[in-house]
A and B are shown apart, each in its own frame.
Chain A
Amino acid sequence: MSRTAKILSLAFIAFWLLTALAPSLIAPGDPLAINPAQAFQKPGLGHLFGTDESGRDVYTRVVHGARDSLFIGIAATALGMGLAIVLGTAAALSPRWLDEAILRVLEALYAVPSLLMALLIIAFTGPGVGPAIVAVGLSTAPGYARLVRSQIRTLRRSEMLEAATVLGRGPWAKVRNHLVPNALKPLLALVTLGIGQAVIWAAALSFLGLGTPPPAPEWGAMLSAGRTYLHLAWWMSLFPGLAIVVVAAGATLIGRALGGKVKAL
């Protein structure tokens, strides 16, 4: 990772952390303040990103929305990845029958499309942020777990491990010195992408009215509201959409750079 890349990545992370933790520093206004007389204002000096259908300032809402959106994305991915590492590693290193059993459970989890699983979970718990996190986390877990398992299996067959076996290293040393860093690299790329995808899935749930309830400025909910007015007020959709794309794409770039670092360890 080059020095410039490091600085840029840190700046990116610091910026979004600041936005999520102290949005009022960047956007001092009230994200919920309505002003019907100012509805559908184009982006300009008064309203940097324009205003929405109730005259709320889109810039203020996008900034304040970072907290909800990022929190859902990160929490869901953490949940999914935690489960995946446990299941994936267990499957890869277990005797064949246990591997098969775990695989079947993963496939069963996996075989139900994420949105259906999310809807099933929400049917038990009712809509809201918590259920959305659990739903998105659970539905992404099998995907991660499969990759964890396949990476570890590939590595188990690799020259490196054969060499380690020849050298008489114990299984724990193999896991620590070879499997973890090598399996983590593609996983990290997937996780960083996963955060972006989790934000998008949570947005899809908000779009169905099952995620963050209005008028909270969550990006997915803002996108859903903006969709109705797409041909009249494109700025209502563009800016929350851009926020999602910037976060997801930025996280991916960092993940790639970090991936290199993990390998070097």
Chain B
Amino acid sequence: MAYLGWAARKIGGALVVLWLVATAIFIGIRMIPGDPAEAIMGGPGSQASAEALAAARAEFGLDRPIGVQYLMYLGKLAQLDFGTSYSLKRPVTEVMGEVLPNTLWLALVSLAAAWLLALLFAAASMRASRLGSWLGSMFEIIAAAVPHFWLGSVLIMLFSSALGWLPAVDNGTAAGLLLPVLTLALPLAGFLTQLMRDSLAAAMGSQFALAARARGESRLMVFWRHGLRHASLPALNLTGWAFASLLSGAVVVEAIFARPGLGRSLLSAVLARDIPMVTGIALFSALVYILVMAVAEGIEKFIDPAGAGA
């Protein structure tokens, strides 16, 4: 029953978040200077015909009072009708259905890779010498400080142009995924490791860790059984953030590596002032974020039942 209540509250919260995002976008569209119909059709440069503008006014009810417009807008969103992308001339949901899986896959693999790297670093730091530990922490700090689009270009130059080991663009194989995933995962891994390392040191020095050591458990054993669990919490707390940052990073990475996806659609939609598309992508990524958060929270509850309920 507790879980049912939890789920009900989650869904309610998610709906509120989506409503807030939708409302903010609605206000945003009205704040763009000039004719909103023109903005919907791609701005003054789109050379939209008078008929097209009239059609947009009718479709979005722009001739009605603003309150009615708002309700019409929400009504359509509730039916998952994001309208037709003006630049692609296709329904937004259809485009999204095509590109979303690509981006989700890229983001999930990158997230997993970042966690894997972070755990490996954290574990290695337990056993490393002073110098090794220092080198490790320098590496994390530098990794977290590298801009995505620079890293991506450097990796392509190195591994595709110069060495010819890995494909620069997606060719459907696992190898094609490697460079974009590295580009997204390395900075994030640097970030996660830094967060984990501090709490890890604290956890390893804690009462129960010392007690376990006194019981004769090895340092590595204690690390896996106790330290890691506590060290992961602050980083896990940031999973939602990490995922959102991966989605942002995907804008750049998908462009550099010529991958179809949400990020690339977003970039071209924003450049083309394709408001229906931008709205759709914003709400979709909000939805994705909420789902990821719910999963992360579930894991958090599992690892740290005492602190659950937050």
Contact = CB atoms under 8 A, between A and B. Distances in A.
Given A157-B307, A200-B148, 8 more contacts: A108-B17, A110-B241, A115-B251, A153-B310, A186-B198, A186-B234, A207-B149, A227-B153
7 tightest A-B CB contacts, nearest first: A248-B145, A108-B20, A111-B286, A111-B289, A113-B248, A115-B248, A113-B247
Contacts of A223: 147, 149-150
A186 B202 CA distance: 13
A158 B28 CA distance: 42
Interface stretch (A20-28, A35-43, A78-86, A118-126): A118-126
A253 B141 contact: yes
Contact of B248 (A114, A153, A157, A186): A114
Contacts of B237: 146-147, 150
A245 B145 contact: yes
Given A107-B290, A107-B293, A237-B150, A116 B281 contact: yes
A224 B252 CA distance: 12
Contacts of A200: 145, 147-148
A143 B138 CA distance: 24
B249 to A, nearest CB: 8
A157 B310 CA distance: 12
A112 B241 contact: no
A113 B234 CA distance: 21
A204 B149 contact: yes
A111 B21 contact: yes
A217 B20 CA distance: 39
Contacts of B21: 108, 111-112
A104 B270 contact: no
A112 B32 CA distance: 19
Interface size class of A (residues with CB under 8 A): 35 or more
Interface in B226-282: 234, 237-238, 240-241, 244-245, 247-248, 251-252, 263, 266-267, 270, 273, 278, 281-282
A176 interface: no
A258 to B, nearest CB: 13
A196 interface: yes
B241 A113 contact: no
Interface string B8-33: 00000100110011001100100110
A186 B195 CA distance: 9
A231 interface: yes
30 contacts: A104-B17, A105-B20, A111-B21, A111-B286, A112-B286, A113-B247, A113-B266, A113-B285, A115-B263, A115-B266, A120-B278, A123-B28, A146-B237, A147-B238, A157-B307, A189-B198, A196-B144, A196-B145, A203-B149, A207-B149, A207-B252, A223-B147, A224-B149, A227-B149, A227-B153, A230-B154, A231-B157, A245-B145, A248-B145, A252-B144
Contacts of A248: 144-145
Contacts of A253: 141
Chain B interface helix/strand/loop/mixed: helix
Interface residues of B, number: 53
A184 interface: no
Given A116-B285, A124-B32, A153-B310, A244 B145 contact: yes
B133 to A, nearest CB: 14
Nearest to B243: A113
A143 B145 contact: no
